[in-house]
Chain A
Amino acid sequence: MSARILARAAAAVTALVTLSGCAGWGFSTGGAAGTVTLTYALWDPHEQIGYQQSIDEFEKIHPNIKVDIENVPYNSYEQKITAEFITGGAPDLFWVNTPWLGTFVKDGILTNIAPLIKANHIDMSQYYPQLVALHSRNGAIYGLPKDWDTIALYYNKDYFKKIGLQVPSDLSWSADGTGSFVSFLKRATTDTSGHNALSPQFNPGKVATYALGVYNDPQSGWGNYVAELGGKIIPYPYAPFTSMNTSAFQQGMSFLTGTLTNDHVIVPGAETGPNANGNNLLTLFTQGKVAMWEAGDWNTTTVKSTVSFPVGVAMLPIGPGGRVSVFNGLIDGLNSHTPHPKQAWELEQWLGSARSQAILGRGGYVWPAIKNLDPLFQQYWQKQGIDMSAFLTEAQGKVVNFPVSSGMGAALTQIANDLGPAWLGSASVSSALRQASNDANYALKTGN
């Protein structure tokens, strides 16, 4: 290693460093011409592409603001954001999913933007009212709505064509197992010799295709059935305790883990993933082993890019209390400790504006939170061959908001853990619910 080699290595490093730009070296804070770099945290790699397009536009309009996206995988998102607030360097603006909203509010890391909304005359009536309500508390508003989601049933059009079955839009169920939904599922479940579950020759040990895949999830899974029976995880927003010891929970859970499971028309809990968490359902759906997959609209990009058959979307079945979908949506949280509150608010306003939401809607990334932009999203997917109107119809119908409370993230994790045994058949619904309720109450009481 002579001096010449060293000099060459040094030159190479200098070249690389220059190429990488200055931002990553911590030199440019408040540097040239007052340019500010904001960090924007999100977790979805698909939507990231759409948001980058929107941010490119934003940077054109605001030449003095640069936006750096921070993609944090969803499973570590809450912890990572919290840790960044503790050590410093938290993102200036960040996606907030509703399970964490209450805790973030309690921790004081979200700015109440209600005064800013007023000062800038932002018309909140352009958004879905339940979305605004979801993120408000006692007059405070914690972010402009970006998008919304409901839950419906993706189905394999080829399969239903093959078995000669139409998917009706008015299937109904009741807690005692009667109703058109169950008999439809039976007809749509086939074994390896082609007999459906209504046939006496049906072999439940050799099911080739289950009619339905539902998983252990309060939003995408059982939450909708419980809601259709009038059940709520917490009695009112920000309640420090659950209301799960009701017949709605008992009946809704029993319908899925008892009736449908015993009829062999739903994928057995153990096959959907660890603790019935649904990890395998997309794979099973892609392989044609599940005919209908109950899931939220944010999966559409994944579904489209994964499956090789045409996909339809059916509405949830109608329960005793009507058709009710769990409704949720995201906001951009404005860091209450950001050194650049003005610029971050500019970005928040942009992402909440019709111009940005039209970019995301038109590209098929999310349902825009601004009501009259929804057709853009629908048209995109129409062109891709997927009719998304089921999600929209549900959003305009009866919905139940995602539960908001301090400690909800931990409470929901606890609930899923405790209900797992009921899905796997190793515990009764009532004992699993009791356990879930106790543990969730503890999480909500401590509030973290």
Chain B
Amino acid sequence: MASVASVAPSATSESAAGPRTAPSPRRGLRLTGYYLVLLIIVIVFITPYLFSLFAAFKPLGDILTQSPARPPTNPTWANFKEIFTQYDFARYLGNTLMVTVILTAGQVIFSMMGAYAFARMEFPGRDALFWVYLATLMVPNVVTLVPMYVMFAKAGLLNTYWAIFLPYTLGVPQAVFLMRQYFMTIPKEVMEAARLDGCSESRILWRIVVPISRPIIITATLLAFVFGWNNFLWPLIVTNSNSLNVLSVGTANLNSNFANQWNLVLAASLVALIPMVILFAVFQKHIVRSISLTGINR
């Protein structure tokens, strides 16, 4: 979801930075062309969001009979009221928030520890181990899905909160890689000096490395948070009870074979989207940088 909003501002700011002096007519023409192309891209990206926004405020009948491009004639809050009064979305929101916070905190802290060890501690086989760990990035999620499910079933953790966040909480290769690369740029001498002064490894990590590495930690936090918030397939598979539903699963459950409640689905999607938009507005710079730093946008 970050991709959508990020494309436009970063692209426009770059091209807008150029023309300070009065442009020649040819240049102006070229710029108009650029902007036109950019505008088309913006429209392509914005349209689905706009349609969902409109539809979230329409009754189901209007969604089915009217053009999706038409703004709601009698905007209604009924859809939002229904998902919170009839379908317990407050609980789903709470579940999502809790699971995402735990997942993010765990992932960032443990990845940090792992990255520090891989970057700046000496032990035999370190680099080999790192590359093996990193290689797990190459294995698609779906391959590990079934074995993971079996593991959780055997551990008796299916249909609990544990199952939703545990697999992502003890660090993930992406985050470890990201942080290791950053930690490598911190001069060795800084840590050696600390060691000479009798500083323990954990103190070095928390007192020296972490404060220097703020940007990358914020980046990893954002990536983890967005991932946790949007995660769908895994929570869908490991939980059954409605009381454990996260937003994404609760939203999908609104649509059954016999009741396609698009009005509620889109209202629920909007509810799920709002915190992400706020997050983006607040951390805009970091998110754009996180994409340029990592080249990953999950």
Contact = CB atoms under 8 A, between A and B. Distances in A.
Contacts of B95: 20, 24
B60 interface: yes
12 contacts: A17-B161, A39-B241, A43-B256, A46-B258, A68-B243, A70-B241, A73-B252, A282-B64, A287-B65, A302-B258, A305-B61, A306-B60
Contact of B161 (A20, A301, A306): A20
Given A39-B240, A70-B240, A87-B158, A44 B259 contact: yes
Q: On chain A, which size bracket covers the interface? A: 35 or more
- Label chain B's interface by main secondary structure: helix
Given A13-B101, A23-B243, A70-B240, A287 B259 contact: no
A286 B258 contact: no
A45 B251 CA distance: 11
B157 A74 contact: no
Nearest to A1: B210
Cβ-closest 4 pairs across A and B: A74-B257, A16-B98, A87-B153, A26-B160
A20 B98 contact: yes
B256 A73 contact: yes
A1 B101 CA distance: 15
Nearest to A27: B160
Interface of A: 1-3, 6, 9, 12-13, 16-17, 19-21, 23-26, 39, 41, 43-46, 49, 68-75, 80, 84, 87-89, 91, 282-283, 286-287, 298-299, 301-302, 305-308
Contacts of B47: none
Contacts of B115: none
Contacts of B253: 45, 71-73
A24 B243 contact: yes
Contacts of A49: 86-87
Contact of B158 (A13, A69, A74, A88): A88
Contact of A69 (B149, B160, B242): B242
A302 B259 contact: yes
Contacts, number: 118
Contacts of B254: 45
A69 B241 contact: yes
Contacts of A25: 160-162
Contact of B64 (A2, A19, A71, A287): A287
A44 B258 contact: yes
B97 interface: yes
Given A16-B98, A70-B241, A306-B60, A298 B258 contact: yes
Interface in B73-128: 86-87, 94-95, 97-98, 101-102, 105, 109
B51 to A, nearest CB: 16
A13 B104 CA distance: 11
B64 A89 contact: no
B157 A26 contact: yes
B98 A17 contact: yes
A26 B158 CA distance: 9
Q: Which of A3, A44, A87 has the most CB of B within 10 A?
A: A87
A299 B259 CA distance: 8
A80 B238 CA distance: 11
A73 B153 contact: no
Given A20-B161, A69-B242, A306-B61, A46 B259 contact: yes
Contacts of A19: 94, 98
B64 A9 contact: no
A76 B243 CA distance: 19
A65 B252 CA distance: 28
Interface in B247-277: 252-261
B177 to A, nearest CB: 19
A307 B61 contact: yes
B244 interface: yes
